[in-house]
Amino acid sequence: ECFFVDVDRNCARIRPMGPLIRRDEGPIWFVTDRESHKVDDLRDGSPVSLVFGGSGADFRAVLTGAAILVDDRATVRELWSDVMKQWFDGPEDPRIVLICFDAREAETWTGPGRVMAAIKLAYTAFTGRRTEMGSQQTTQM
């Protein structure tokens, strides 16, 4: 699961979005509707965070960086998949605009999934002994 987080008028806007990641390439792409509010909220180089993980995940990550709007049909065609037919008529649909995200920092957390975390917390509660609950790491990109 990926959440796209930007700030508009000092208010965080959090939206679930599907990232498009091409191997051996730096930016993360998103396909969106140029009429959407997120397009209105973004300015070139807008600070953005991507939050990856879910309620039962044992790995979570936050990428912080900048996003720009890109109107490039060739890239849209390269990124196009049949799943996008749910929202758009095809890669030539004029409503499509791309968001290009360039990560500058990554912060990751690993730990037990929900069930294992509950077991570890119960163990600590009953024995008084702490257990390893995971790790955190920050990387500049």
Q: What is the pLDDT of residues 109-121, one digit of tens each?
A: 876 666 666 676 6
Task: Write out the two tokens for 45.
Answer: 């180089």
Cβ-contact 4, 15 below 8 angstroms: yes
Indicate whether 19 pLDDT > 90.
Answer: yes
Give the model's pLDDT for residue 119.
72
Give the model's pLDDT for residue 81.
93
Taking the C-alpha atoms of residue 57 and residue 114, their distance in angstroms, rounded to an integer, is: 7
Share the mean pLDDT of the chain. 84
CA–CA distance from 32 to each of 14, 15, 55 (Å)?
15, 12, 25
The residue to which tokens 């991507």 are assigned:
50
Which residues pair with residue 21 across a beta bridge? 28
Indicate whether 71 pLDDT > 90.
Answer: yes
Start-end of H helices in the chain: 37-41, 73-79, 114-127
Task: Kindly report whether the global pTM for this prediction surpasses the value 0.85.
Answer: no
Give the mean pLDDT of 20-39. Answer: 88
